[in-house]
Amino acid sequence: MIIICTLLTACTNNQILPVESGVAKTLADYRKANISNLEYDLSFDIPEFKNEEIPGKNTISFDLLSANQDLQIDFRENANKIHNVICNGKSSNYRFESEHLIIPKKELSVGRNTIKIEFTTGNTSLNRNDEFLYTLFVPDRARTAFPCFDQPNLKAEFQLNLSVPSHWKAMGNGKLNTMKEEGKRTFYSFAKTKPLPTYLFSFVAGKFKTVTREHNGKKHTMYHRETDLEKLERNSDEIFSLLFQSLDWLEDYTDVPYPFAKYDIVVIPSFQYGGMEHTGATLYNASKLFLDKNASKNSILYRANLIAHETAHMWFGDLVTMKWFDQVWLKEVFANFLADKITNPSFPEMNHDLKFQMAHFPSSFSIDRTSGANPVNQVLPNLKDAGTVYGAIIYHKSPIVMNMLENITGEEALKSGLQTYMKNYEYGNASWEDLIAILDATTEFDLKEWSKVWVDKAGRPTIECEIGSENDKINYLYLSQKDINENKGNWTQDLNLVLGYKDSFKSVNLTLDEAELEVIIAESRSLDIPDYIIPNGKGDAYGFFRLDEKSKQFLLKNLDGVKDDLHRGIALINLYENLREGFVSGTEFITALENQIAKEQNSLILERMLSYLKSAYWLDLNADERKQIGAQLEESLWFRLNTEKDMSKKSSLYSAFASIAQSPEKLDQLYKVWKEEIAIGGFSLSETKATALACNLAIKMPEKAEELIKTQTERIKNPDRKKKMNFLAPALSADQDVRMAFFESLKNEENRQIERWALDGLRYLNHPLREKEALTYLPQALELLKEIQITGDIFFPYNWLSASYSGHQSKEAGDITRRFLNERPDYPENLKLKILQTSDLVRRK
């Protein structure tokens, strides 16, 4: 890293730029300083069959400030895929080196240059399926498909032409200019786009159906492949209404009208992410948009949030883009932060502070409690590693930090600061520091210092609260904060201490701006000693709140005695974090949950409890403990499931029950549910749920595995889902050799192409009931990680590891991890962090 930094400052126009694979920051900085008014004119000739080549043409035009360096154009493919290069009207004497097509400087001229390239399109990021393909170029994958300057701060106008089989449809970022059918081919020509970074350039082609709606005089089209017409109809209106509501809200908040030519959406089956904010044609994951009839409140909320999130990106990310992918969190934080603001009014019955708590804190803690925690702001010397900066910290800690920022500046000042930011940098790039500079002017508070701790530093403080008393009255409160290594902490923040009593609570507000803080309570304000303390009562404070013994005992037994929903939700999360940090045992936690699940009425808290239950049951109880507690737990869940009236709660209860059920009697019940012989209290199984149940039962009832898989595959009507089931069948097999062979097959890149499928398969292989056998996969899964990062999409390395560790709680798994890292002292830091994040539980053994 040091060497690269030296190059960064050393590289001037007089020195020769090194040619390195990937997109080095030095190269990007040089190009940014020299290239402007960039345009791409791209044509792709897409055949019907996915194994046939896609011929492509690209005309790159730009102004060049100086021509004393050879020009490096990014193309992560083989040299033989370049067929012809013409530079400024003459055949180019180019060379190809380390993922770059290099034009000699003598062929370039100061001022306007035009380079025409004929090539075979690289397939890596085209997601080619039998009947459709879609591009996904974030963060630096445009260069895998066509030659370009693949960096977010060289925005360009894109002109796209596609030729596709006549029975296909094609979509791009721009408006459709012309469409011409000639025999078996149709030619689409799209209008030139506004300036876009390469990672937002996109096209989709294939067999799609459309639904169109109008809003404020503009037409919006949804492209989809859903075959269940009832499902489509049930969801379409809601999807469009969420979309329009988000658009209207954002135009108002930013004071900038929708900044691009059109806004369509494409719904992709088994899409890698929830969505991707390509301007004009945003991609969405079908399973997140088309919901089942009895969808849980969480998935309804998730959908609303997802649509708001992607729409917010049209301004935050697309109109104003980060300069480099080290600050990709910037676009994500705004999208999340604004998505919450957009979605909240549509759920007036919901406690939004509680929703915020549930949506962001558990996920952020899942990283920050580990020794692999990363700060919000990260370092990125080469874009080829950009994928590894993504993760829960970007998506979940940054909204928490942004919430703190808004509390400091005030809502209006932040809004007007953001409007200035939009206007100053529209169709260009800006950094977090640019925004802080705008906001710093509006407040007395030292935002730059604050940002150093909350944005540039990794981890979370451990916060402890101690009470001193005299005559049963509190006379002082003592608070301390430490980092993961027990050093004094410097995370300044406001705390709202809830002192809870049997039927009431009192709260104390204070600012924790030192490592140790003692608050003397004056006699006149004398307070009784509470039954429990929640130090983060408003839900905006961040850290590990270690429970004192009295609070711990009270909350484990009487969580329902905390009447305020927000306080109870926070207390639940605090309890879980105390379990993870080793201060509450698995049995204590599960027993407490069993009691509370029977009584909990708030659906957000109930969902969180059930999700904690599913993970703690399998990861914090050993097989013997599961045997002891399991039967009783099954009964409690079964009872609540059958008596629950609310369909969305029923759906979550069902999922938790199906996950933990192990007794022959209950498995038999579930088997009958799957066979449609009985229904659980009027609850009907959708195709997706029936498939998940069949897979779950195949693992728990190996003697019936074959029948379950075969019958379920036959039952599935949707062709995409049928294919998926065929793919997963060997991972569910009762035969260990077949499962081993499935794992082996994942070593072949081709079999990991649909990442969601590969991950599901990996999770089945690593089910807790197969923990011993799965230990043999673990070293190989770790071994594959480097390759996974190169070949997979941005979330794949983390998800791959997370699935690989999903069923493990043994010390052996911890030993395998430690050995792997010890034997590789030079292992890439970013991947090492991912391993430390996902193996936290087993490394604590």
Q: Which spans of this chain sit near Zn ion (rule: CB under 5 A)?
A: 332, 335
CB 323 to Zn ion: min, Å:
17
Nearest-approach distance from CB 823 to Zn ion, in angstroms = 37
- For residue 27, the minimal CB distance to Zn ion (Å) is 26
Q: Looking at beta carbons only, is 335 or 458 nearer to Zn ion?
A: 335
Residue among 273 and 742 whose Cβ is closer to Zn ion: 273
Considering the complex, what minimum distance in angstroms separates the CB of residue 130 from Zn ion?
Answer: 29
Q: How far is the CB of 335 from Zn ion (least distance, A)?
A: 5
3-state secondary structure of 409: helix
Q: CB of 309: closest distance to Zn ion in angstroms?
A: 6
Q: Which of 190, 113, 126, 124 has the alpha carbon at shortest distance from 158?
A: 190
**Which amino acid is located at 721 in the chain?**
R
The least distance separating Zn ion from the CB of residue 332, rounded to whole angstroms, comes to 5
Q: How long a stretch of residues is the chain?
A: 845
Q: How far apart are CA 415 and CA 72, in angstroms?
A: 40
Question: Which residue, 336 or 669, has its beta carbon nearer to Zn ion?
Answer: 336
Least separation, in Å, of the C-beta of 257 and Zn ion?
21
Residue 313 Cβ, how far from Zn ion at the closest point, in Å? 6
| Between 337 and 671, CB nearer to Zn ion | 337
The residue (of 335 and 841) whose beta carbon lies closer to Zn ion is: 335
Closer CB to Zn ion, 335 or 781, in the complex: 335
Whole-Å CA distances, 90 to 42, 84, 115: 19, 11, 9
Which residue is closest to Zn ion by CB?
335
Nearest to Zn ion of 364, 809 (CB atom): 364
- Name the token pair of 356: 């915020």
Residue closer to Zn ion (CB basis): 334 or 612: 334
The Cβ of residue 794 has, within 10 Å, a number of other Cβ atoms equal to: 23
Half-sphere exposure of 173 (CA within 13 A, CB side): 27
Residue 544, by phi and psi: left (phi above 0), alpha (psi -120 to 50) or beta? beta
Residue 533 carries which DSSP code?
E
Q: Which is nearer to Zn ion, 34 or 388 (CB)?
A: 388
**Chain CA centroid to CA 183, Å:** 43
- Of the two residues 268 and 335, which places its CB atom closer to Zn ion in the complex? 335
Provide the minimum distance between the beta carbon of 312 and Zn ion in the complex, in angstroms, as a whole number. Answer: 8
Q: Of 634, 587, 582, 590, nearest to 609 (Cα)?
A: 590
Pairwise CA distance, residues 759 & 803, whole Å = 6
Q: Identify which of residues 430 and 653 has a Cβ nearer to Zn ion in the complex.
A: 430
Q: Hey, what amino acid is at 499?
A: L
**The residue to which tokens 């379990």 are assigned:** 579
CB closer to Zn ion out of 317 and 461: 317
Secondary structure of residue 4 in the 3-state scheme: helix
For residue 271, the minimal CB distance to Zn ion (Å) is 13
Our CB check for Zn ion shows the closer of 77 and 310 to be 310
Count CB atoms within 10 A of the CB of residue 268.
Answer: 27
CA distances from 608 to 314, 358, 523, 631, 779 (A): 31, 7, 40, 22, 32
Q: How far is the CB of 670 from Zn ion (least distance, A)?
A: 37
The residue (of 264 and 332) whose beta carbon lies closer to Zn ion is 332
Report how far residue 803's alpha carbon sits from residue 780's, in angstroms, rounded to the nearest whole number.
Answer: 13
Are 172 and 283 a contacting pair, CB within 8 Å?
no
What's the CA angle centered on 236, arms 128 and 649, to 5 degrees?
100
8-state DSSP, 414: H
Is the alpha carbon torsion for 98, 101, 105, 110 positive or negative? Answer: negative
What distance in Å separates the CA atoms of residue 779 and residue 797, rounded to the nearest whole number? 15
The DSSP output letter for 292 is -
Min separation Cβ 314 and Zn ion, Å:
11
Q: What does the block give as tokens for 284?
A: 């969405």
65 in Cβ contact with 111 (< 8 Å): no
Beta bridge partners of 463: 481, 545
- Give the whole-angstrom CA distance, residue 173 versus residue 568: 46
Cβ neighbours of residue 446 closer than 8 Å, sequence gap 6 or more: none
What is the spatial distance between Cα 823 and Cα 485, in angstroms, rounded to a whole number?
A: 24
> Is-contact 838 802, C-beta < 8 A?
yes
CB of 331 to Zn ion, least distance (A): 6
The token duo for 661 is 């059920």
